[in-house]
Amino acid sequence: MNKIIIANWRKRSEGLGGQESYFSDLSNILNARIISYIDAEKVMNKNLFSDPFRVVYIGYVIDKYLENYEKLFKPDLIIKNSAVGGFTKLKTPQITIFQDPYYSISQKLIENGRFSNQSEHYFACIELQRRTAKQGKTVAVSNFMKKDMELCGIKCDKIIEEGVDIEKFKPLNKEELKKAHNIPLDKKVGIAVTKFNSIKGWDMLAKLINKFSDIYWIVVLTSEIGSKPKLKNVSIAEKVDPTLMPQFYNLADFYISTSSVESFGLSSAEALACNLPVVVFKTGIFWDWFDKRLGIRVEDWTIEAFEKAVEKIRDSDLKEFSPRQTLIKRGLTKEIMEKNWKNYVNEILNKKD
């Protein structure tokens, strides 16, 4: 059996988010050991401060850990998050996965006059991506992510799209779930899975919730903000256990993402698998692919464009949409993702031999 190591900032048990979920799923697909900064730091003991989460130093510590690991255990392959490391010349073949469009995020924020306290983090990550891209093969999770790499001057060797576990994310009995969770049965219910920041279009979502008081809104946050909603037509859930997400999606009638930049859009794809029509911006997997049976793609990242889309969804009986069937036909399933990753890893390992 091949020995494969996956390196990411955090494991799923250490934090909730798209990265953590993606690399956790990939480790299961490839039967690979996943290591995080915390794992590396316990061994290397390099950090002397109480606040270790500085992306450049984290990458350095993980790289030094991998350097020692390959000397002792001779792994066959190392797979890394694109912003992890780039400082050490490892001997083991590497695949770097580009799953964060930092360049596009920074560009969008600047173009729209929006600024984030994460800006320095984004630009540091862009430099790290340029470094790690030189160390082995590079994989993007969508054509949009490939374009983002090109903006950084990085060549993409392979595109392997993400996939949804359609056995886990599937339609459930909405009426029973709504009754059990005191969700109105006489209103359309919209759900958003988001973060409290500018690039996710939080201000747009807040305006939509205020404007469409005849819609009941469920907002799922991957982090904890400790605030309660003032409006009666919205509920907020923080740090939701990922295993509960199929139930959350099935509480709703449609899904909305006001995010201006996504590498893929996994939450949107999960909602589609639960047969929810979506309202999404033209980014991620929806940048160069969309089907009207999925829902509505918003072409302009403006509040007016989103308002029109929400109005259409609100006034529809939703029978014109067949999101789950369309997603499966497109091949955005975990089964296809697993097949593509195993084939590519075998190709890399066979070339090594």
What is the dihedral angle through the alpha carbons of 276, 277, 278, 283, rounded to the nearest 10 degrees?
110
Kindly report, residue by residue over 239-271, the tens digit of the pLDDT: 888 899 999 999 999 999 999 999 999 999 999
Q: Please determine, for residue 52, whether its predicted confidence score (pLDDT) is greater than 70.
A: no
Residue 87's pLDDT is what? Answer: 86
The answer to whether the beta carbons of residues 327 and 273 sit under 8 Å apart is: yes
**Where are the chain's structural domains?**
4-163+333-352, 174-330
Q: Of 292, 298, 299, whose CA–CA distance to 277 is shortest?
A: 292
Q: Please determine, for residue 17, whether its predicted confidence score (pLDDT) is greater than 70.
A: yes
Answer yes or no: same fold for 4-163+333-352 and 174-330.
Answer: yes
Q: Could you tell me the pLDDT band of residue 49, with boundaries at 50, 70 and 90?
A: low
Kindly report, residue by residue over 116-142, the tens digit of the pLDDT: 677 888 999 999 999 999 999 999 999
Q: Could you tell me the pLDDT band of residue 18, with boundaries at 50, 70 and 90?
A: confident
What is the mean predicted confidence (pLDDT) over 182-197? 94
35-39, 171-175, 220-224: range with lowest mean pLDDT: 220-224
Higher pLDDT, 58 or 254: 254
Residue 10's pLDDT is what? Answer: 92
Kindly report, residue by residue over 296-331, the tens digit of the pLDDT: 999 999 999 999 999 999 999 999 999 999 999 999
Q: Please determine, for residue 287, whether its predicted confidence score (pLDDT) is greater than 80.
A: yes
Residue 100's pLDDT is what? Answer: 95
Which tokens sit at 221?
């946050």
The answer to whether the beta carbons of residues 24 and 12 sit under 8 Å apart is: yes
Report the C-alpha gap between 159 and 291 in whole angstroms.
Answer: 21
Residue 344's pLDDT is what? Answer: 98
Residue 351's pLDDT is what? Answer: 82
Residue 47's pLDDT is what? Answer: 72
What is the mean predicted confidence (pLDDT) over 16-30? 91
Which residues pair with residue 151 across a beta bridge? none
**CATH H-level superfamily of 174-330:** Glycogen Phosphorylase B; (3.40.50.2000)
Q: Please determine, for residue 48, whether its predicted confidence score (pLDDT) is greater than 80.
A: no
Q: Please determine, for residue 352, whether its predicted confidence score (pLDDT) is greater than 70.
A: no
Where do the DSSP E strands lie in 195-330? 215-221, 234-238, 254-256, 278-281, 295-298
The answer to whether the beta carbons of residues 37 and 17 sit under 8 Å apart is: no
Q: Of 31, 149, 79, whose CA–CA distance to 348 is shortest?
A: 79
107: phi then psi, degrees, rounded to nearest 5: -65, -45
CATH fold of 4-163+333-352 reads Rossmann fold (3.40.50)
Kindly report, residue by residue over 208-245, the tens digit of the pLDDT: 999 999 999 999 998 777 778 888 999 999 988 889 99
What is the mean predicted confidence (pLDDT) over 83-100? 94
Which tokens sit at 171?
């339609």
What pTM does this model have? 0.94
Say which amino acid occupies 155: K
CA 60 → CA 10, 48, 239, 256, 265, distances in Å?
14, 14, 29, 38, 29
What is the mean predicted confidence (pLDDT) over 104-113? 89
What is the dihedral angle through the alpha carbons of 259, 153, 21, 338, rounded to the nearest 10 degrees?
120
Report the C-alpha gap between 177 and 190 in whole angstroms.
Answer: 14
pLDDT, the chain, mean: 93
